[in-house]
Amino acid sequence: MPAEPPIPVNIPVLGAPEAARLAECIETGWISSEGPFVARFEQAMAARVGRWHGVAVSNGSAALDLALAVLGLKPGDEVIIPTFTIISCATAVLRAGANPVAVDCDASSWNMTAEAVAAAITPRTRAIMAVHIYGLPVDMDAILDLARKHRLVVVEDAAEAIGLACRGRACGSFGDVSTFSFYPNKLVTTGEGGMVLTDDDSLAAKLRSARNLCFQPERRFVHDELGWNFRLTNLQAGLGLAQLERLETSIRRKREIGALYQRLLTGLPRVQLPLPATAYADNIYWVFGLVLGPEAGLSAQALAAALAKRKIGTRPFFWPMHEQPVFRRMGLFPGVSCPNAERLARHGLYLPSGLGTTDEQIEHVSTIVRDLLA
């Protein structure tokens, strides 16, 4: 009997529309960031989210770096971030010269809460970075209320929330600056890539200059400021346009994957599944996560290892920012305790849930997970 083929944690969906856009780039010679697909992709993405400006960049981390860089933060300024997130969020704050302040997440939605943010605000706070996690959004109405009350800037990281809505409004539309990632596991992928969105004309101009080495229109190689080469190529933007055209189909498929896993895995003792919905959003199931209770019989690491032996890919949950060794050596987050994030990091992992994952693969994965946790 033939062995089961591997099931990677993510399988992107690419096809004829993407191939046609890449072929057009090659045929016309427009493969660099100067090509016409870049502006079209920026306009299409901004329109999809309901923003005035989109600034395409080389990846999601670059998008965060640029978003923080143009805010004019000063040494000693504080930016509140969730501790349960990717390290790019904290490093962007540090590179902007400010101090990240980490807050815990909700135990059920896995997102930062307005209550935790409110408790962390000090006279030095200048911004709140809201990061939508794993398929459910932060309650952005509550975050915006806090920002207005304390006159704070909102940076919205919607990297994992393409196509997701909060109270009917598109994620990516809430921040003074909002960012996206187009890594292969996102609902719109360009291989690598990202974008910053804003409605502020002045911020948009700063973002466009900073991503392009701060070249000046009249004197290209004379620089008044330092910038980055964070440009997106025409090849990548062509992929992004084709991916945007299939976004509604991708959203439906993600929710089908989540619903199938929920049906097959509900009832496992001492295992927490993702919330299907909150009071303000339906889960888009960017990934399908499990959090194992202490009596589950296996640790998350042991379950991942057992699945790997059966050629099933997984990923661990984020490790909290306040426990990162590199930040501890820098003296950051002294005395911080975030029990919800610490529990998720130690006991959470997510299963294969990319857009190209088939129902048969999900059923196979679920059967093995149930057997291992029985």
**Inside any domain, residue 259:** yes
My answer on whether 238 and 259 are in the same domain is: no
What beta strand segments (E) does 45-185 contain? 53-57, 78-82, 99-103, 125-131, 153-157, 165-166, 169-170, 177-181
- List pLDDT tens digits, range 15-47: 999 999 999 999 999 999 999 999 999 999 999
Nearest to 155 by CA among 142, 167, 143: 143
* Mean pLDDT computed over 106-121: 98
**Residue 4: inside a domain:** no
Owning domain of residue 299: 247-373
Residue 7 lies in a domain: no
- Residue 76, amino acid: G
pLDDT digits (tens, 9 = 90+) for 206-223: 999 999 999 998 899 999
pLDDT confidence of 191, banded at 50, 70, 90? very high
The predicted pLDDT at position 2 comes to 57
Is 6 within the bounds of a domain?
A: no
Residues 348 and 265 in one domain: yes
Among candidate residues 330, 250, 363, 320, the one with its CA nearest the CA of residue 110: 320
Query: Percentage of the chain surpassing pLDDT 70?
Result: 99
Confidence of residue 252 (pLDDT cuts 50, 70, 90): very high
Could you say which DSSP state residue 4 is in? P
Burial level of 336, CB count in 10 A (0-12/13-18/19+)? Answer: middle
- pTM for the model: 0.96
- The last residue of a domain, from among 182, 217, 245: 245
Q: Which tokens in the block code for residue 76?
A: 């000693």
**Do both 30 and 159 map to the same domain?**
yes
Return the percentage of the chain with pLDDT > 90, whole number. Answer: 96
Report which of 134, 117, 123 is spatially closest to residue 82, judged by C-alpha positions.
117
Check which CATH number belongs to the domain holding 57 and give it.
3.40.640.10
Arithmetic mean of pLDDT, 100-129? 98
| Same-domain pairing of 251 and 241 | no
Which residue, 196, 213, 245, sits at the end of a domain? 245
Least confident of 69-83, 101-115, 290-304: 290-304
From the list 281, 291, 351, 269, the residue with the least C-alpha distance to 107 is: 291
Neighbouring C-beta atoms of residue 151, cutoff 10 Å: 8
Name the β-bridge partners of 57: 194
Assess if residue 213 is contained within a domain: yes
**Bridge partners for 282 per DSSP:** 277
Q: What is the mean pLDDT of residues 101-116?
A: 98
Tell me, yes or no, whether 3 lies in a domain: no
- pLDDT value at 60 more than 70: yes
pLDDT per position as a tens digit, 349-362: 999 999 999 999 99
**What pLDDT, on a 0 to 100 scale, did the predictor assign at position 322?**
98
Q: How many helices (H) and strands (E) does the chain have?
A: 13, 13
338 and 196, same domain (yes or no): no
- 264 and 366 in contact (C-beta within 8 Å)? yes
- The domain spanning residue 267 has which CATH number? 3.90.1150.10
Residue 284 lies in a domain: yes
Q: Are residues 252 and 208 in the same domain?
A: no
Q: Sorting pLDDT into bands at 50, 70 and 90, what band is 294? A: confident
Are 127 and 89 contacting, i.e. CB atoms less than 8 angstroms apart? no
Phi/psi of residue 62, nearest 5 degrees: -60, -40
Distance in angstroms (rounded) separating the CA atoms of residues 119 and 277: 26
- What is the predicted pLDDT for the residue at 374? 82
Band (4; pLDDT cuts 50, 70, 90): confident
Inform me whether the pLDDT recorded for 303 exceeds 60.
Answer: yes
pLDDT-derived band at 298 (thresholds 50, 70, 90) equals confident
Are 83 and 197 contained in the same domain? yes
Residues 46 and 167 placed together within one structural domain of the fold:
yes
Last residue of a domain, one of 180, 211, 245: 245
Query: Are 38 and 169 in a shared domain?
Result: yes
What was the pLDDT predicted at 269? 87
Q: What is the pLDDT of residues 308-324, one digit of tens each?
A: 999 999 999 999 999 99
Single-letter amino acid code for the residue at 91: T
Give every strand in the sheet of 271-272, ordered side by side. 271-272, 288-292, 348-351, 315-316
Amino acid at 157: D
With a cut of 80, say whether residue 3 has pLDDT above it: no
Q: Number of folded domains in the chain?
A: 2
Beta strands in the chain (DSSP E): 53-57, 78-82, 99-103, 125-131, 153-157, 165-166, 169-170, 177-181, 194-198, 271-272, 288-292, 315-316, 348-351
- 21 falls within a domain: yes
